[in-house]
Structures are given as C-alpha cells and as structure tokens.
Structure 1
Amino acid sequence: MKNISTTELEQTLQTDASIQLIDVRETDEYAGGHIEQAKNVPLSELTERTAELDAKQPIHVICLSGGRSMNASMYLEQAGFDVTNVDGGMMSWEGNVTR
C-alpha cells in the first residue's frame, strides 16, 4: 500500500486536480473541520458507497490519525483502486480546514 505524508498531500492537491481525496471519518468529525477538496465517505459506509468513487482516478484516503484510512485503503486497493493512505491524518494536517 502506498503512503503519503500530509505535507506531500498538500503539495499534491496544489498541483494535481485529478486526485480524489476521501475522508473516512464519521460525518460529525468531518463537519468539525476537513480539507476543502475532501469528500466524506465514512468508513462505516464505504462498502455501500464504493460505486460513488471514480476507479479511473487516483484516490487518497485520510482520517483522524491514519488507522481508519489504512483500513479503507486496503479495502479499496483489493477492489482495484489506485489508493494512497495519508499518514498521520488530520492530526498532522497543517493546511487550511473548511468547516
């Protein structure tokens, strides 16, 4: 499984509009603050909502600290997606946050 730091993610988001950023935290966590480009697909709903994701585009997965995103990344990778887990999650994110 591929991994990326939050610093690398911030640089990637500035240069590559084609990636999908999926935030797998629960809806209330996401509402408390998230990366603007992130789409909320809670880990608890991921298996039912996988069809919403574009399999032709790379996916980066983030959560609070990296545990749930790692689980989601493993699932998506097995489903054939090009996935990168964001190490450290929102706890390590130093960029702008949207509420």
Structure 2
Amino acid sequence: MKSISVKDLAALGEATEIVDVREDDEFAAVRVPGARSIPLSRFVQSLDEVPASGTIYVMCAAGGRSAQATTYLEDQGYDAVNVTGGIMQWQDEGHPVNRG
C-alpha cells in the first residue's frame, strides 16, 4: 500500500483529490478544505462517489480506517494513497482546516 505524510500531501496543493473516510459527525467537526466525505461505514456501497481516475488520497483521523479503504481501492484498481497521521496530524502541523 502506498502512503504519504500530511506534510507531503499539503505540498501537492489544492488540486489533489482527498477522500475522508471518517463518519459524518467527525467530518463536520473538522476537515481538509475540498475533501470529499465517504464514511468507511458506507464506503463499499458508495464506491461510485470515488473519482474514477487520478490519484485518490485517503484520510481518516489517524490512518487506520484510511488504510483499510486504501487497500480496498487498490484491490479495485484505483490509484489510492493512504495519508498517514490523518486529520489529527494535519491539524497539529498547522495546515488549513474547515470547521463546523
């Protein structure tokens, strides 16, 4: 499984496709600007919401759930990358977030 640090992800800029697999309430509380919410609890049923081309960066709170989703996406033929450290590290490093 491919992975990327939040620092390296932030350096890629706003054109990246981030899929956040945390639950709706977690996503509503804090999220990366522009990230797409597809909770892990309905991920398989919502696969049609995942962009069909390009690299997909998968994020959760710390990296566990996103690793599961990344592995699943890779098995389906997607170019998926797990974001290690998740939103918790993203915030800790001072990267921009949306709240509420």
TM-score (norm 1): 0.92
Q: Identify the residue that residue 98 of structure 1 maps to in structure 2.
A: 98
* Structure number having the greater strand percentage: 2
Q: Does 1:80 align with 2:77?
A: yes
Q: Is the 8 A contact 1:60 1:83 kept in 2?
A: yes
- The 5 A counterparts of 1:10-29 are 10-14=10-14, 17=15, 19-29=16-26
Count matched residues.
96
Give the RMSD, CA atoms, in angstroms: 0.9
Q: Which runs of 5+ in 1 are unaligned?
A: none
Please give the per-residue CA displacement for 1:38-97, whole angstroms capped at 9, x wherever unaligned: 000000111011111222121000000000000000001001100000001011103011
Q: Give deviations 1:17-58, integer Å, cap 9, x for gaps.
A: 1x3200000000000010012000000111011111222121
- Give the percent of matched residue pairs that are identical in Structure 1 and Structure 2: 43
- Runs (4+) of structure 1 moved beyond 6 Å? none
Unpaired segments ≥5 residues, structure 2: none
